[in-house]
Amino acid sequence: QRAIVWFRRDFRLADNPALRAAVDGDFDGIIPVFIHAPDEEGDWAPGGAQRVWQHESLAALADALEAIGSRLVIRQGPTQSTLDDLIDESGAGAVFWNRLYEPGLVRRDADIESHLGQAYPELEVRHFQADLLHEPWTVETQAGKPYKVFTPFWRTISERSIRQPKARPSQLPAVWSRIGSCDLADLGLRPAKDWTTTILEHWTPGEDGAQARLETFLEDTVDNYDNDRDRPAVHGTSYLSPHLHWGEISPFQVMHRAEEWLSEQSGGAIHEHIQSFQSEIGWREFSRHVLYHFPDTPDEPLDDRFKAFPWETPDTAFDDWKAGMTGIPMVDAGMRELYATGYMHNRLRMTVASFLTKNLRIAWQHGERWFWDTLFDADLGNNTLGWQWAAGCGADAAPFFRIFNPARQGERFDKNGDYVRRWVPELAELSNKHLQEPWNAPDKALEAAGVVLGKTYPKPVVDLKASRREALEAFEQVKN
Ligand code: FAD
């Protein structure tokens, strides 16, 4: 008997329950397959940056499989008929995969499961929990409803134990040469642009890269996580988000390794840092649970009142926001970091999202789309939650009237201006006093720093105070 292991967004060999079940089962052949079928993800097929990562990550998975005697079979969709072909070609008696929770994929996978059951009554079809510590249908409030607030959600799930990560197979049976595969390059995921080469210098996609990233974080960073995680100029967080998104490392591995690390250290403070890091993994869980229970939220606000919010039509200010040319240094620094590295620090994600939705009053869905196309870690659960949080219309969201002032954010979290100077070098010579609000700097200070507003650096596209007031007035219209 042979088993097909259908890889989807679980590009790892360790702690991969579908692969493990095939290894532990009584199979004399295992066929690892990836089926490229972005159309089946509807409006939320992987964006530009995600596709680049996906290409690299698939290449790493293919290498890892080869190193243990196997081979990644790559096919083009549609998934259903491709699986049928593979079953017919190989005579497979089983198909295994790991579950995902995005609404489009939940529907697609249910259709495939029911089709396989009808077309191949003898086939063993099984799917596994791998991407979430707790399945969305197992966590509910006392009233039997899905949680919409993080703290009680996290309290509930952190009391439960989680399984140990599953072992990595050391060897797999060879895949018959007659099971054909297309070339990874045929999928057209990685455009031949210089952009991808430079952007990838910051990252190592793949399972080994993910493990190395976790170890570096534990060794160098976690012991001050709670303080440094809000300072964009320092590497104060784990940078695991794209690795977690593509399933190069599982949340089970991250949680257990963090516990293990804690038990190896002496001294009290690290305990709190580890806990707050683990609670971020909790936010990841929360976002997937919210998405599962409220499948319209990538497009519609969870808070219905916001359907009537008077948003502005995106105009040139939206283009300036995307290009990091708004004339507001913290916003521009964040947007430029995103474009240059496929990543943006969380503090900046909150700042630029608040600026877009409140100061420019452009609907959060436009920002969500731009992030979807440019973030390596673009993730439907986390991105939806983040944007609805910032716009004040989502689960456990910041209230609408809490409007970030980007200049104050800069003064607080980028005290020495290192982050702004790194990404907005045209302001590098301005003193800290004026760096975050160059429009208020005296002419002399601007001149000494070689800054000509409107020429070497834009004038602000919007007045922060006036636009804040207008946003609050607009909110009055939908508040009740
Ligand atoms: P760490 O601080 O090291 O956290 C560890 C892990 O916890 C992260 O890798 C991530 O998986 C999870 N996590 C951390 N913060 C959050 C959070 N607020 N919500 C959900 N999970 C979290 N995260 C994405 O992974 N993909 C997105 O598309 C995304 N879009 C966002 C959009 C907006 C407007 C905002 C405000 C936040 C968004 N986030 C998104 C959440 C957060 O900014 C990133 O997860 C984090 O910056 C990733 O860096 P890290 O891995 O170093 O985080």
Lowest mean pLDDT, pick from 18-32, 159-173, 197-211, 314-328:
197-211
Over residues 92-126, the pLDDT tens digits come to 999 999 999 999 999 999 999 999 999 999 999 99
For 170, the 3-state DSSP assignment is coil
DSSP string, 213-259: HHHHHHHHTGGGHHHHTT-TTS--S---HHHHHTTSS-HHHHHHHHH
The DSSP secondary-structure symbol of 198 reads H
For residue 198, the Cα-to-chain-centroid distance in whole angstroms is 20
Q: Which ipTM score applies to this complex? A: 0.99
Q: Which atom of ligand 1 is nearest to the CA of 241?
A: 9
Q: At 136, list the tokens.
A: 């969305």
Q: Cβ–Cβ contacts within 10 Å for residue 361, how many?
A: 19
300: its two tokens: 């519609």
The domains located in the chain, with CATH, are 2-130 (3.40.50.620), 132-164+207-293 (1.25.40.80), 304-479 (1.10.579.10)
Pocket of ligand 1 (CB under 6 A): 229, 237-241, 244-245, 280-281, 283-284, 287, 346, 349-350, 353, 371, 375, 377-379, 382-383, 385-387, 390
For residue 197, pLDDT beyond 80 = no
CA dihedral 320→324→327→330, nearest 10 degrees, is 140
CB 74 within 8 A of CB 58: yes
Calculate Rg over the CA atoms of the chain.
24
Catalytic residue among 261, 283, 372, 423: 283
Nearest-CA residue for atom 23 of ligand 1:
382
Residue 44: name the closest of 106, 133, 116, 99 by CA: 106
d(CA 166, CA 277): 22
Q: Is pTM beyond 0.95 here?
A: yes
Place of tokens 């089946």: 40
Task: Convert the pLDDT of each residue in 314-343 to its tens digit.
Answer: 999 999 999 999 999 999 999 999 999 999
